[in-house]
Structure 1
Amino acid sequence: MTAPLLSVEGVAKSFTMHLLGGLTLPVVENVRFELHPGECVVLGGPSGVGKSSILRMIYGNYAVDRGSILVRDAVDGQMRDLGAGDPRTVLRLRERSIGYVSQFLRAVPRASALEVVADPLVRLGVPREAASQRAAAMLRRLNLPDALFDLPPATFSGGEKQRVNIARGFLTDHPILLLDEPTASLDAANRDVVVAMIREKLADGVAILGIFHDEPVRAAVATRILDVSAFSARKAA
């Protein structure tokens, strides 16, 4: 087997409820797994068990209480501990190594859909015109009308916003891609498009970690199901 792109070891996470006298709410403990090129590992288990929290820790949105999240740096091939919480490491890994499609698009005010999608490529040094052309092709593949390209996504429907979100996340060549219910607000035709896009990423050796509550999508893309219930701190409490 090829070397892992992601190695999670002994990770624990809890939240402190400051408005409730500092009450500590445990979420997960002893999370451990590896993610290899060409795998689509799906986080399974009931709602509230900690699936989205695991994704957010791996992307650096949430700090970990303990444990390590080792991510292979796409620039020099070294494993770096994102879980240590160093902001420079988090930004470095997001730039080249880890892509993320969240449940909801957080668009820059007044930026057009085309600008939102092209922005990650522009940040990587791709000329703006070339980035815009690639962004437009991706939006057309996701059946977003050309008439919407120059409009801000804040004016779009939920499904249209999510297609912009997916286009932005899939446009780059990050070796690791995190997906948090990407097809939740899509119709059947666009779900099929996203399934095909995921399969293409896997064929290119991208490692995908995702949450899919849509059973047909999960069945179509998963190479392995990881039951997060095994890591539930609340269950153990």
Structure 2
Amino acid sequence: MGTILVTGGTGTLGRHVCERLRDRGAFSGEGHAVRVLSRHAHPYAVDLREGTGLAEAVTGVDTVVHCASSPRGGDEEATRRLIAAARPAGVRHLVYISIVGVDRVPFPYYRAKLAVERLVEESGIDWTVLRATQFHNLVLRVFETAARLPVMLLPAGVADQPVEVVEVADRLAGLTAGPPSGRVADMGGPEIRPFPELARSYLRASGRRRGVLTVPLAGAAYRGFRSGGHLAPEHAVGKVTFESFLARRFPAHQR
């Protein structure tokens, strides 16, 4: 694999991808180097939205694993800058992590992820794209935010299929070690569960007492989520359930 650059390499997914790529290199004896790129990761502290230092970061790189992303915006510009630097540097494989349903749910962040997929496909670099369902960590953050009120308000009629981030990192590292594969099979968590059911699992695990109330919402994005556009029932390949994830996060409340 030569030298691998992981964008967003200190983030929720990226740090696990870096660990697994290093482990693969040590175990196999391939001796490849892993470069961590993020805004604060020296020596490759790069803000992709600005691009300063990006040319140096991709010099000598064979494969880029693009994990950097932000719901606050800027993904498309960041990816354009990354591709513009990667092409003349001779990068041979561009691996991107996306989200299940970006082509079915008209949610602004999903639209940006779909646009980035298209940039990757049209980059002129051989590519691999993996779509995954929401990480356990994200679902937990949603519930922690909702639990700030006496009653947790959740969208009515919506289910989720959370997946363990480490399992996604394993899959992404394996794809990085292989040849460019284009769009690969989606990766979903082991179970599709109604949001209120997941929320009550969170409340039990964390020892918090809250009511749970579902509220119908308006808009095309909500209809997309309610219809299950973000789910991958045919690709429920994850092993770690939401309850198992919660048990590790809240060990003091486990019986």
Q: Which TM-score tier does this pair reach, normalised by the shorter chain? A: 0.3 to 0.5
Greater strand content? 1
- State the structure with bigger RCO (CA 8 A, min sep 6), 1 or 2: 1
TM-score, normalisation: structure 1: 0.33
Greater radius of gyration (CA): 2
